[in-house]
Structure 1
Amino acid sequence: MNPLQRTLIEKTGNDYGFEHVLVSDGDGVTLASACHPTRVLVILENGVYQVSFQAMSPTLLPELQRSFPLAGVESGRFMLATEAALAALLRRAASLSRALPSQAATDYQQAVAAELAELPPGIAGTEVERLVRQRVGQNKFRDAMLNYWGGACAVTGVAILEVLRASHAKPWAECVSDAERLDVFNGFLLSANLDALFDRFLISFDDQGVLVIAPALAGLDLLRLGVVSGMKLRWVNSLHLPYLALHRTRLRQ
C-alpha cells in the first residue's frame, strides 16, 4: 500500500463515520470514531480492500452481512473491489455502531446528564427530570432507529423523514431499564399510518416479519389505512422476537 492509497482510505474513513486515524502504515489503516466504539482495519492488497471490524456489539457483523450479502467475507474480513463499496460499508458500519446496544443507551445517559446540569438544583426526582429523560430518550431512540433502518420505513422502505416514527414494541413506560427503552430491537421505524396502528396494538408482526392484523380490524377496508395484504418487515433480527411476541399478546380483540 503506497502513501496515496493510505491517504485515500483515511479520507474515506473521515467522510463515512471513522474520522480518527489510529495507525497508518504499510500493514494497513486502523480507523476509529468519537461517536461510537467500533474500530476498523483496512488493508489494500492486489487491488482488493480487506476490511475487518473490532466491535463492542456482537450483532454488528451479522447486520453488515445482511446489508452486504454480495461482499466476499473471508476469516471475518469483508473483501471489496472498489472505493465506493468501501465507503458504503464504512457508512453502514458507523450507522449501526451508533444504533446497536448499548451505544444508544450510553448516548442517552450523556445527553440527559448534560441537560440536567443546566437546570436549577433540586429537580432530582421531580416531574421536570422525568420529562427531560423521556424527551431525550425518545429523541435518542428515534436517532437509533433511523441509523439501524437506514432512514427508511421498516416495512415500505419509504424514506421521507417527516413521516417516519420510531415505534416501541414494549412501551416506554413499561420498560424496566434505560437499556430496554433504548434497545433498537424494541421497536421499528414505521411510516405514520403503520406507527399509529402498531402503537395501538391494531397490527403486529409474526416471527418471519409478516404483518398481523388485530381481530378488531376484521371486516374493515384496510387499504384505506395503507395496509396491503402481504406486507412484511424488510428483515427481522432474532433479537426482535421477544419484543414481538410480547406485542402480539396485546393485539386488540
Structure 2
Amino acid sequence: MNSTDGYSSVDALPPSPFQWNILEQTRVEKAASDAGFDIGLTREGSWLVFRSSAFPQRLGVEQQTANSYRVGFSDLACGKAMSEECSLLVVQKEGLWPMVASNVTGYDFLYHLLFRAASLCRVLTKEALGQFREVTGDMPASTEAERLVIQRVGQDIFRRGLIGYWQGRCAVTQLDVVPLLRASHIRPWAACDTNAQRLDIFNGLLLAPQVDALFDGGWISFSDAGKLLVSESLPATAHEAVGLRLGWALSAITDFHGEYLAYHRLNVFKGR
C-alpha cells in the first residue's frame, strides 16, 4: 500500500464480513431516497448501489459492523471532496468504486454523508456551463453592454452553484442569511481564460459581505489548506474596524480549489 496526497492506493479491499438485514437495508435505502437517489436500488455483491435521475454519479454502501459502513464513490472528484470535508479515511482502487471511505460510523453520519454527497454530485455534473451556453448562445456580445448582460447571466448561475456547494453558508463565518451572501470568484471573472473556469464551482467562495470585500480587494487570501492570510498593507489597527477575525478559515476546502487560490495569492492578494 502506498499513499499519495493523503489517499491510499490498493488493488482490493477485504470483503465485508457483515450481511445486510432487512431493517438496516431499509433504513439505508430511506436515507438514500431522502438524499435524492431516486432510481431503484441495485445490488453488487455486498454493496447497495444508489443512483439518481439528477446526476450520473453512483454511490454504494456496504455494511461493515452493526454500526459502521463503507461508502463507495463512482466519481473521484466527489470522493476527494467528501473525504476532505468529512475527514473520511479513503482508498483509491480499480473496480466498482474508484474511491472508498471506510470509517463511516453511525447511521446519523451516514445519513448526513449521503445528503452531502448528493448535493456535491449535482454541482459536479457541471450543469452550470451547459445552462450558460443554453441561455447565452444566441445573445449578441459585440458591445460592452451586451457583454455585461452575458456576464450577469453567468454570475447568477455561478451563485446558485455556490449556494449549493457551501450549503447556503458563508465559507468563512458560517453566516446563513443567503440574500446577504456574495458569490466571490477566486480567480476573477475577467481574468479567467474560459467560461469553464468562470463557472467552475471550485473557483468560487460564498462569502459574507465584509469577507467578500476584503478577499476581492486582496486584503486577505487563504492558503491551500484554507488558513487565513492577511496583507501587511492592512494596518492592524484597521482589523476590528473592517470586521476581520484572525481565526477565520475556509470551512470546506479541497485540493480542487488549490489552482485558483494560488492564482489569487499571486495576482490579487496584496501580500507584503
| Bin for the TM-score computed over the shorter chain | 0.7 to 0.9
Give matches, 1:159-178, under 5 Å: 159-178=176-195
Listed as ranges, the matches of 1:28-107 within 5 Å are: 28-44=47-63, 46-47=65-66, 48-55=68-75, 58-69=76-87, 76-100=100-124, 103-104=125-126, 107=127
Alpha-carbon distance between aligned partners in 2 of 1:245 and 1:73, rounded to the nearest angstrom: 26
State which of 161, 166, 181 in structure 2 corresponds to 1:144.
Answer: 161
CA contact (8 A) 2:132 2:157 kept: no
AA in 1 matched with 2:80: P
C-alpha distance after superposition, 1:89-138 (max 9, x if no partner)? 111111222234xx23xx12332354358xxxx64545687455423322
Alignment partner of 1:60: what SS? Answer: helix
Distance 1:185 1:25 in 2: 32
Q: Which amino acid is the alignment partner of residue 83 of structure 2? A: Q
State how 1:114-193 maps to structure 2 within 5 Å. 114-115=134-135, 123-125=139-141, 130-131=147-148, 133-193=150-210
Secondary structure class of the residue paired with 1:225: coil
Letter in 2 for 1:68: C
TM (normalized to structure 2)? Answer: 0.74
1:22 CA drift (Å): 4.9
Q: Render the CA deviation track for 1:188-244: whole Å, top value 9, x for unaligned.
A: 221111101211222222344333333443254221211023433235433333322
3-state SS, counterpart of residue 73 of structure 2: strand
Q: Percent identity?
A: 35
How many matched pairs? 242
Task: Give me the whole-angstrom Cα distance separating, in 2, the residues matched to 1:146 and 1:203.
Answer: 22
Q: Give TM-score, length-normalised by structure 1.
A: 0.78
Return the alpha-carbon distance in structure 2 between the equivalents of residues 210 and 218 of structure 1: 19
Q: Which of the residues 94, 110, 115 maps onto 2:130?
A: 110
Letter of the structure 2 residue corresponding to residue 51 of structure 1: V
Aligned equivalents of 1:29 and 1:132: distance in 2?
46
Q: Tell me which amino acid in the other structure corresponds to 1:136.
A: V
1:18 is aligned, of 22, 37, 43, to 37
Offset of 1:179 from its aligned partner? Answer: 1.7
Assess, with a 3 A threshold, how the Cα gap between structure 1 residues 184 and 4 changes in structure 2: closer, same or farther: same
Listed as ranges, the gaps of 5+ residues in structure 1 are: none
Distance in structure 2 (CA, Å) of the matches to 1:130 and 1:6: 52
What amino acid maps onto 2:206 in structure 1?
Answer: L
The worse-fitting range, judged by mean Cα deviation, of 193-202 and 240-249 is: 240-249
Residue 168 of structure 1: how far off its partner (Å): 0.8
The 2-side partners of 1:31 and 1:136 are apart by: 33
Per mean C-alpha deviation after superposition, the further-off stretch among 123-132 and 140-149 is 123-132
